[in-house]
Amino acid sequence: MDDDERAVLAEFVASRAPALMRVAYLLTGDRSSAEDLFQSALAKMIPKWRSIRHSDPEGYLRVVMYREQVSWWRRLRRRRNMSIGAGDSVVTDPSAGTDLRLALRAALCQLPPAQRAVVVLRYYEDLPEAEVAELLDCSVGTVRSRTHRAVSRLRQLLPNAELELQR
């Protein structure tokens, strides 16, 4: 990679990092995990920079982040299934109820990872069901059922909040 390409890459990362970090944070529910996810996606994108820089580098990076997060969830699920006697501890957000944004964040963290991903992709990223299905490597019907379950659960967790999650 020559100096001009490095400069373009650095400018791209500097300008789009805040928005991409928000997406990573919403997918992971944790700042340090979001940073790891973003860095991992960047590490996978940089070798391909020359071929993607003129098309849609942000879209490419988002897809890499989504797929990387899904693979992390699958590895975590395998580890949980393999560990014997390890109980899941429930951690609640002590600032829950201070405002809708913090309450929604806490509620999102309580959703299973696949449901959280569908909510983030459908409502935060505003992607159509077919694109979400492609990104998460599942069927459109699975996206619909996960969305339905996630929204129902969010409404249970936030009964007084007016969630506008209708599509």
Q: What is the pLDDT of residues 5-50, one digit of tens each?
A: 889 889 999 999 999 999 999 888 889 999 999 999 999 998 888 8
- Confidence (pLDDT) at 163: 56
Structure tokens that stand for 123 in this block: 């409502």
Structural domain boundaries, residue 163: 96-167
Q: Report the number of distinct structural domains present in the chain.
A: 2
Please indicate, yes or no, whether residues 114 and 137 belong to a single structural domain of this protein: yes
Cα(80)–Cα(141) distance, integer angstroms: 26
Q: Answer with the residue of higher pLDDT: 165 or 22.
A: 22
Q: What is the pTM of this model?
A: 0.55
- Confidence (pLDDT) at 97: 44
93: alpha, beta or left, given left = phi > 0 and alpha = psi -120 to 50?
beta
**Domain end: 25, 53, 82, which one?**
82
SS3 62: helix
Q: How many CB atoms lie within 10 A of CB 137?
A: 11
Say if residues 132 and 122 touch (Cβ distance below 8 Å).
yes
Residue with tokens 């109820």: 97
In whole numbers, what is the pLDDT of the chain averaged over residues?
A: 82
**Domain end: 57, 82, 107, which one?**
82
Mean pLDDT of 142-150: 94
pLDDT over 70 for what percent of the chain? 80
Q: How many CB atoms lie within 10 A of CB 5?
A: 12
